[in-house]
Amino acid sequence: MSVPFLWLVSILCLLVSALPTARAAQSDAVISPRATVTLVTDDDTYRPGRPLHVGLRLRLAPGWHTYWLNPGDAGDAPTLDVTATGGATGQASTIEWPTPRVLHDGPLTSYAYTGDVLLPATLTLAAGEGDGPVTLNARAAWLVCAEVCVPENGRFSLTLPRGEARPSAEVPSFARAAADRPVASPFAARVSPAGVLQLDGRGLSPDAVKDAWFMPEVAGAIDQDAPQAVTVRDGVVQLVLKPGPVFNSGAGLSGIVVLRDPMGRERGLSVHPEVGDVRALAPPSVAVPAGGIAHVGWLVGMAFVGGMILNLMPCVFPVLAMKVLSLERMARGERRAALVGAGAYAAGVVGSFVVLGGAIAALRVAGQQAGWGFQFQSTGFVIAICLLLFAVALNLLGFFAIGLRLMGLGDGLPAHAGDFLTGVLAVVLASPCTAPFMGAAVAGALAAPPVVGLLVFVALGCGLAAPYLLLACMPGLLGWLPKPGRWMETVRNLLALPVLGTCVWLAWVAKLEGGMDALDLLAAGLVLVLVGCWCLRRASMMDLRDAMQGRAGLYRAIAILLLLVAFVGGGVLPPASVHDRSRGTGRVTDGSSVFSPTRLAELRRQGRPVFVDMTAAWCISCLVNERVALSTHAVQDAFARRGIVYMKGDWTLRDAAITAFLHDHGRDGVPFYAYYPAHGAEVILPEILTPGLVLRMTAPEGK
């Protein structure tokens, strides 16, 4: 090799070393098997007064991720502190967070970054000592997770010369981070106290928004594991969120709403919604068209038929006891009393249906996702009804003679107030059940104008009361009853058994919803009811002896006090005693998987058949269907052979995703069953199931 050639190579090396390179915009790396991390800038030079963008660049190994400002259920957000010294001074520690991804790992949800991610910050430089270079010293900590989580940290140093702006090789990384950063939402945002988030504005439509989800800035603001039901209309996007333990309806709910268009492109919007009334959007499939008289008639007809069938549902079995005893009076020929009593019962039924429907509609206007049977999602209500039925059972067993007059209240009430209250109780107990034809009618009523909704609920009440009214108007139908005698007392005692069985079931529901605290409170209430009823019995015996009527009044007062304490104390649970409702009831233990709209969509994309079971612990029809049909060996074996995924949605406690799913299918209550074949449209099953029906409707085509 000649000497001139060596001189030429040496000169070229000196020239190259003197040239500025992209290396000047990147520090030495902190390297682990999980990530390679450096401090980078978007400029190879600096000048005081000119903002300098710095960032922590993490090149994460496949399968590993790090976290956002709110890490979600687990994790920790990265931190970055940068200090400038030398020719300029300054400090930065606020990361300008790009929009993260939502990662689901079993029951946990995280907001995280994967792959090559840059976490930028802006450094404002002030004049320092002289015109020399500036040195950037940074400290950073980050957590990387896969199957395990490993905390990592590092110190970084980077020196930049003074000079005119000269973009570095890291500019594309900063551009990507800027593009991923959420922008201020151009749409008005509101959130209801119940957690319904709504965006309003031009540009929102089903053609522009295919999907949306929300990520809160504060951990615990929502239950991020709960699916977020999305409804899109022209000018409106609505998300149903499940409030978390630190949700504060008075302070709003800040975070990021991500909108995905039909092409799969996503944009993150930074929202700071105002707290206000948000009316839940009605599902389009059940909206009543203006002037649709035929459709209104169809809804009313379905409601009447559904109300009649409701008499055969197991929810109303306890009320049948009181109705059978009333038939005795009809059989004895007291026609006028029977007609008036039947009318009072019907008035109680119809009035209660109207009040219950109005309550559901009012809650929806207030932003609550209330559906049919919503009151049984309250642990206090379940306890109160259990105590009431326990008192009814004691009465049927002859423990005491129940009556408003016995309690000193009857003089100011109509003679058939008891029949009216029996009708009220019938509706309260029937509300957890959804009879055939009834589900679509209720959903249509809640989506229709108020007048139409009123007619539908009146029709439901008339349907439920119709058989009893028919018997009262046609006493000849009672000719099959034997003559009054001792058998009546035996029947009366036997009818207490299904009522006591209902009490046991309600105690189980209360335990699922409120835990052992609710069960303890219920037990104390049962004791108070028992003692109160004993006092009423003593009062009724003393009323027969004039000399003891004063003491009878004392016993009656004690009884009323004990019963008030039992029902008020049982119906109002202190918040601390109720289980964390975000955890659910834990009833999905039969091999089924927990319902999730996201999981359902994923399984359908994979071409796997899915059977969806929407149930609740307080729904007797649901439990009967599970026992006689869905849990049978034949059905479970068929599901396994056919590869059918059995998904169960537990609506025992309020679940916005299940409520939205029911609304999307024109339903407002459970049970609800849908089968999604591997290929083809979904199949809706009736409310009453048999093993043969399930096997037939889930059979592969051609079999």
d(CA 417, CA 440): 33
Note the pLDDT of residue 279: 67
Which of 649, 671, 648, 668 shows the shortest CA–CA distance to 658?
A: 649
- 78 and 214, same domain (yes or no): no
- What is the pTM assigned to this prediction? 0.44
Say which range, 60-64, 125-129, 276-280, has the weakest mean pLDDT. Answer: 276-280
- 322 and 461, same domain (yes or no): yes
- 678 and 559, same domain (yes or no): no
Question: Is there a domain that residue 116 lies in?
Answer: yes
Question: Is there a domain that residue 639 lies in?
Answer: yes
Question: Is there a domain that residue 686 lies in?
Answer: yes
- 254 and 353, same domain (yes or no): no
User: Which residue in the block uniquely carries the two structure tokens 């029809």?
Assistant: 621
Q: What is the mean pLDDT of residues 518-547?
A: 76
d(CA 350, CA 429): 14
Q: Please check whether residue 125 is in contact with residue 90, taking contact to mean a CB–CB distance below 8 angstroms.
A: yes
Q: What is the mean pLDDT of residues 243-264?
A: 81
| C-alpha neighbours within 13 Å on the C-beta side of residue 450 | 7
For the four alpha carbons of 283, 355, 429 and 389, in that order, the dihedral sign comes to: positive
Crossing angle, helix 438-447 and helix 450-473, to 10 degrees?
Answer: 140
Note the pLDDT of residue 423: 79
Note the pLDDT of residue 38: 95
φ/ψ of 410, rounded to 5, equals -75, -25
List, for residues 148-182, the tens digit of each pLDDT value: 888 999 999 999 999 888 889 899 899 899 989 99
Domain count within the chain: 4
Question: Is there a domain that residue 684 lies in?
Answer: yes
- 567 and 618, same domain (yes or no): no
Question: Is there a domain that residue 444 lies in?
Answer: yes
Question: Mean pLDDT highest for which of 285-294, 327-336, 440-449, 453-462?
Answer: 453-462
* pLDDT of 84 above 90: yes
Q: What is the mean pLDDT of residues 42-61?
A: 92
Per-residue confidence band for 401, with pLDDT thresholds at 50, 70 and 90: low
Question: Is there a domain that residue 666 lies in?
Answer: yes
Q: What is the mean pLDDT of residues 272-300?
A: 61
Note the pLDDT of residue 397: 80
Per-residue confidence band for 106, with pLDDT thresholds at 50, 70 and 90: low
Note the pLDDT of residue 53: 93
Asked if omega into 151 is within 30° of 0 (cis), the reply is no
At CB < 8 A and 24+ separation, what contacts does 144-149 make? 144/32, 144/34, 144/35, 144/60, 144/64, 144/65, 144/66, 145/64, 145/65, 145/66, 145/67, 145/74, 145/75, 145/110, 145/112, 146/34, 146/63, 146/64, 146/65, 149/74, 149/75
CATH number for the domain spanning 684: value is: 3.40.30.10
- 476 and 328, same domain (yes or no): yes
Note the pLDDT of residue 365: 55
Question: Is there a domain that residue 72 lies in?
Answer: yes
Which of 589, 295, 567, 340 shows the shortest CA–CA distance to 445?
A: 295
List, for residues 219-238, the tens digit of each pLDDT value: 888 888 777 888 888 889 99
Single-letter residue type at 649:
G
Per-residue confidence band for 410, with pLDDT thresholds at 50, 70 and 90: very low
Q: What is the mean pLDDT of residues 621-649?
A: 87
* pLDDT of 321 above 60: no
Q: What tokens were used for 74?
A: 């687990």
User: Which residue in the block uniquely carries the two structure tokens 């975070």?
Assistant: 255
d(CA 428, CA 315): 9
- 403 and 333, same domain (yes or no): yes
Q: What is the mean pLDDT of residues 250-278?
A: 85
Crossing angle, helix 496-542 and helix 317-331, to 10 degrees?
Answer: 60
Question: Is there a domain that residue 313 lies in?
Answer: yes
List, for residues 251-260, the tens digit of each pLDDT value: 668 899 999 9
Q: Which domain holds residue 663?
A: 593-698
Q: Please report, rounded to a whole number, the percentage of residues in the chain having pLDDT higher than 90.
A: 19
For the four alpha carbons of 362, 366, 368 and 369, in that order, the dihedral sign comes to: positive
Note the pLDDT of residue 57: 95
Q: Please report, rounded to a whole number, the percentage of residues in the chain having pLDDT higher than 70.
A: 73
- 222 and 331, same domain (yes or no): no
Q: What is the mean pLDDT of residues 586-611?
A: 77
165, 180, 195: which is the final residue of a domain? Answer: 180
180, 202, 233: which is the final residue of a domain? Answer: 180
Note the pLDDT of residue 584: 44
Note the pLDDT of residue 358: 74
- 121 and 210, same domain (yes or no): no
